[in-house]
């Protein structure tokens, strides 16, 4: 019985690479392992206003929380090296509502393989705070406040591309 064309084609393709096939497979597995080890972490961003209901002419406290998985960090809002990307919170509020300055937590100073110097970072749960003031003549019954956090996450060996994450905070005005 004569082999089919597809078997001949497969045999002609496989014979030359058979000696290096284990190397190709091992390299592919190594690449998958490296990709898995260096996968960008799932960092969550949440916001809260307290109290969620307020009157006109009042000020409430707002927080934005970054939750960073164990083994990862983000650069602080004031990195010690110019080339590092700072964590930055930008807050957008409706016209008339005033947003106070953001208070960032104190950074941790750590040593990592990628830097000869200590690096100012945030790890774990990071809480940023700011005040929101509703003017006495505010016309609306509610306000949507957008908080955008720009950050760069890293592990001990590699930093990932910067990203911007957004969360919305709602304030009811009575």
Per-residue pLDDT tens over the stretch 28-84: 433 333 344 567 899 999 999 999 999 999 999 999 999 999 999 999 999 998 889
Buried b (16+ CB within 10 A) or exposed e, 44-61: ebebebeeeebeeebebe
Q: Are 94 and 143 in contact (CB under 8 A)?
A: yes
Which residues are bridge partners to 143 per DSSP? 171
Report percent pLDDT > 90 for the chain: 67
Task: Give this prediction's pTM.
Answer: 0.76
First to last CA, the chain: 88
Angstrom distance (rounded) from CA 94 to CA 44 = 24
Average pLDDT of the chain, as a whole number: 85
Per-residue pLDDT tens over the stretch 142-158: 999 999 999 999 998 88
In this prediction, residue 25 carries a pLDDT of: 47
Close Cβ partners of 126 (under 8 Å, ≥ 6 residues apart):
65, 66, 67, 68, 74, 87, 105
In this prediction, residue 26 carries a pLDDT of: 45
């Amino acid at each position: 019985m004569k082999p089919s064309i597809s078997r001949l084609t497969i045999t002609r393709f496989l014979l030359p690479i058979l000696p290096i096939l284990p190397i190709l497979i091992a390299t592919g597995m190594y690449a998958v392992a490296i990709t898995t080890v260096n996968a960008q972490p799932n960092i969550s961003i949440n916001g809260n206003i307290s109290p969620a209901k307020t009157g006109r002419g009042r000020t409430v406290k707002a927080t934005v929380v970054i939750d960073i998985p164990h083994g990862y960090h983000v650069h602080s809002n004031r990195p010690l090296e110019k080339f590092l990307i700072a964590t930055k919170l930008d807050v957008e509020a409706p016209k008339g509502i005033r947003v106070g300055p953001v208070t960032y937590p104190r950074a941790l100073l750590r040593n990592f393989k990628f830097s000869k110097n200590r690096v100012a970072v945030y790890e774990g749960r990071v809480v940023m705070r700011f005040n929101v003031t509703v003017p006495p003549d505010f016309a609306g019954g509610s306000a949507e406040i957008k908080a955008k956090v720009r950050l760069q996450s890293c592990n001990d060996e590699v930093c990932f591309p910067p990203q911007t994450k957004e969360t919305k905070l709602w304030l009811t005005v009575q």
